[in-house]
Structure 1
C-alpha cells in the first residue's frame, strides 16, 4: 500500500470535468492505497466520492482566489509534503504545478485547447499557460495525457519528449451511470422537462464550448422537430457565459431551450437516459467525459470533428462541422430520422466504453510509479 500525496486545490467547487477526474481517480487509487488530499476546507463537502483511505489536508478558504491559490500551490505547498509520502500526484497539471518537487511526481495533463480556440482565456492566463507551465513541467519525469490528442499537443506546443508522456484514458463511473437508479419521473418534473429533448452537457462558456452554433442549429430545425424536442443545456456558467445567455434570451425558441445549470452526479444518469440525442459541438476537447457517459447511458452521440472527439467518438458518433450550424442541424435530422442508425450507434457505444475504466486508469498511475 502506497502513501500518495495528491492536490485538489483546483477543485472548481466540484463542478467541472477536472473535479470529476480528481474525484474518480483518487477514489480508485484509494481502493488499494492511502491518499492524502490537499484541498480547500470548503471543498471537503463538495468532494462526494469519499473513502476510508482518502485523508483530507484542509487549507484555508481564502486560497480560493486564483492568484493566491496559484502562488501557494507553486511556492509553498511543496514544503508541506516532505519525504513522508511515496509520490506526489498532480491531477490537474494544466492548472496547478510546483516550483519544487520534493519527491517523485506524476502529473496529469488534460488539454491545451487554449492554443486552438482563439480568445478562450485572458492575457494573464495565456501567459501562464504558454510560458510558466512549460518551465515547471520540466522536472516531472512522468506525465499522463488523457488522450493521444493531448499527447500530440504536449509534444507540439511544449516540446516534451514523448517518452515522458503516457496516454491514460479517462474512465466512466459505471456504478453511477446505470439506468433507473433514481425516480426518473420525479427528476424530470423537478427540472421541468416535459418534452423529449436533445442534450449537451458542458460548462457554459464562450467561445470554447460552442453553444451558439448548437443553438443556431436548433433554431434552424423544422417546426415539427422543435415541437417534439427541447434543447437542454447542463453545466456551470463560466467564462463569458453571458454571451450565451443573452443569445438565448433573444432567441425565438427561448421557451424550448432549457438551461439547467450544474446538476449533482446522482441526477446526471436520469438526464442522459431520457435524452433522445447527445450533441457535443465543442471547438476543442482534451478528452470529453460526457461523450462516454452518454454512450454508457445508451444515447446516440453526435460531435464536432476535432481534437480528441475524433479519437473518443470514432466508430460510434456522427460527426459534423462545428463551425457550420447547418452541418450540426443536418446531422441531427439525419440521426433522428434513422432508427437503425440510432440502434447501431448505441451498440457501438456500449462496445467502445469497455476500454474506459477508472480502476484501470488508477492502476496505470501506480505502474508509472513502480517503473520510475
Structure 2
C-alpha cells in the first residue's frame, strides 16, 4: 500500500498537531512496515523529531514554481504529485485535504482534532474562524473517511459540519514513546538538577493560553506552600498569569520551563505529585494521557472530552472553581491509598491508547477503503 501524509506539521510544529502527526507516522511505519509512506512537506523544516525509516520518503514540491509557492502547492497543486507518485490513500493529518483530490482515484482520510473555533469563536479572530470552518467542512465532506480523535469531536463534526456519523471513526490519540518508558534515578536526578526542581511539585503542561486556564491553578495555590511547574509555549495570556503571580508574591513558587526535551518532560511528569489540567475545552487532551502513562494522579475539568482521556479514576472539577481545585489537591496529597489507586488504575486505563491499538484501528480504516 502506498500512503501519503500531509506532513507540514511533522516538520514545522512542536505542539499538539505536530506530535499527533509524528506519532501517527511513527506508529504506522513501525507496525505496518511493508507499506510505503510518503511525507508531503511544503518546505524544509527545522524540527527533527521523527526518525526517517526506510519505508518513509519525504516529498517536496517537484517543480521550482511550487517550491516558491509552497503554501499554494499544499492546498491544491500537490494533487498532481500524489497522482504521479501513485498514492493509493492520502491522509490529511491535521484537518485539511487538498482541493481537487476528490476528482482522482485516491482514497482520502482526514483527521479532525477539534472544532473549538466554532464553540468558542471569541478565542479566534473573525477571519481565522471563517477560514478554519471552510477548510474543515470541505475536508470532512469530501473525505472518504473522517477520523475524530474523541467521541466529543465526533459529536461536534456531526453537529457543526453536517457530516453523517457513519462516515466518522473515533481513533484516540496515543502519546510519544518517551512517556511509556521508565527512567533511572540518575536520569531523574539530572533533570531535577538541570531545572532546579523541588522534591515535591504540581505540574501543568500545555500552551499557556486562556482556554487552558492556568490562572485557576495559580489562584488555587495562592495561600499555600504548593510549588507549581509550568511547561508550555507562552502567549499573551501568560503575561496575565505572571502579573497575578507577581501581585501575590508567588514568584518563588511558580516556575516556567522552556526548551524541555521530550525525555526530560517525561521525567518531569514521573516526578510530579499531581498533574493538573483545568482546560475549558479540548478535542482530546493528550497531556492527560501522558500523565496517566507516567503513573501520575490527574485533576482535570468536567465536561468536554476530559473523562474520555482521563478515565474514571481521575478527578474532575468545574474549571474555574479554584477552591474545589485546592480541596482536591490536598485530598490527594493527604491520602496515599488514593494516590496509589489513581496511579495504577490510570495507567491501566491508558493502555487503550497504546501504539498497537492505534495502529490496528488506522490500518483497519485504510483497508476498508
Q: Normalising by the residue count of structure 2, what TM-score does the alignment of the two structures yield?
A: 0.89
Match of 2:93 in 1: 91
1:239 Cα deviation from its structure 2 partner: 6.2
Matches for 1:161-180 after TM superposition, within 5 Å: 161-174=164-177, 176-180=179-183
Question: Measured at CA, do residues 57 and 238 of structure 1 come closer, stay the same or move farther in structure 2, by a change above 3 Å?
Answer: farther
Q: Report the Cα offset of residue 71 of structure 1.
A: 4.0
Q: Does the CA-based 8 Å contact 1:276-1:300 persist in structure 2?
A: yes
Between structures 1 and 2, the one with greater helix share: 2
C-alpha distance 21-199 of structure 1, shift in aligned 2 (>3 A): same
Contact 1:35 1:54 in 2 (8 A): yes
| Residues 38 and 56 in structure 2, CA contact (< 8 A), matched pair in contact too | yes
Aligned with 1:368 (options 353, 365, 368)? 365
Q: Which residue of 2 aligns with 1:51?
A: 53
Q: Deviations over 1:288-347 (max 9, x none)?
A: 111111111111111011211022223121111102222222221221122111111112
Q: State which of 213, 220, 229 in structure 1 corresponds to 2:216.
A: 213
1:82 corresponds to which residue?
83
Instruction: Give the conservation status (yes or no) of the 8 Å contact 2:121–2:129.
Output: no
Equivalent residue, structure 2, for 1:125? 128
Note the residue ranges of structure 1 that are not aligned, 5 or more in a row.
none
CA contact (8 A) 2:9 2:21 kept: no
Over the aligned positions, Cα root-mean-square deviation in angstroms equals 2.4
Q: Is the 8 A contact 2:292 2:310 kept in 1?
A: no
Distance 1:146 1:262, change over 3 A: farther
TM-aligned CA distance change 1:118 to 1:30, over 3 Å: same
Q: CA deviation digits over 1:137-179, x for unaligned, max 9?
A: 2110200011111101111111110011001111234565322
Q: Quote the offset at 1:210 in angstroms.
A: 0.8
- Which residue of 181, 189, 193 corresponds with 1:189? 193
The question of whether the paired residues in 1 share the 8 Å contact of 2:3 and 2:37 is answered with yes
Structure 2: tracts of 5 or more residues without a match: none
How do 1:179-258 and structure 2 match up within 5 A? Answer: 179-180=182-183, 183-205=187-209, 207-220=210-223, 222=224, 226=225, 229-238=226-235, 240-258=237-255
- 1:92–1:64 Cα change, 3 Å: farther
The change in CA–CA distance for 1:71 and 1:332 in structure 2 (over 3 A counts) is farther
Question: How far apart in 2 are the matches of 1:118 and 1:248?
Answer: 28
CA contact (8 A) 1:21 1:170 kept: yes
In structure 1, C-alpha distance between the alignment counterparts of 2:333 and 2:12, rounded to whole Å:
36
Matched with 1:18 is 17
Equivalent-residue separation in structure 2 for 1:128 and 1:110 (angstroms) = 16
How many residues are paired up?
Answer: 358
Q: How far has the Cα of 1:120 moved from its partner?
A: 1.8
Q: Which moved more, 1:44-53 or 1:290-299?
A: 44-53
- Between the aligned partners of 1:315 and 1:186, the Cα distance in structure 2 is 34
**Which 4+ residue blocks in structure 1 deviate beyond 6 angstroms?**
none
Picking from 35, 43, 62, the partner of 2:37 is: 35
- 1:60-111: CA deviation from partner (whole Å, max 9, x where unpaired): 9xx999xx77544222222221151121011111xx3321213111111111
For residue 244 of structure 1, give the secondary structure of its aligned residue in structure 2: helix
Q: 2:145 is matched with which residue? A: 142
Distance 1:239 1:116 in 2: 21
Structure 2 contact 10–50 (Cα < 8 Å) conserved: no
Report the more deviating stretch, 269-278 or 357-366.
Answer: 357-366
Q: Distance in 1 between matches of 2:91 and 2:251?
A: 44
Per the alignment, residue 108 of structure 1 pairs with: 111
Greater relative contact order, per chain length (Cα 8 Å cut-off, separation 6+): 1
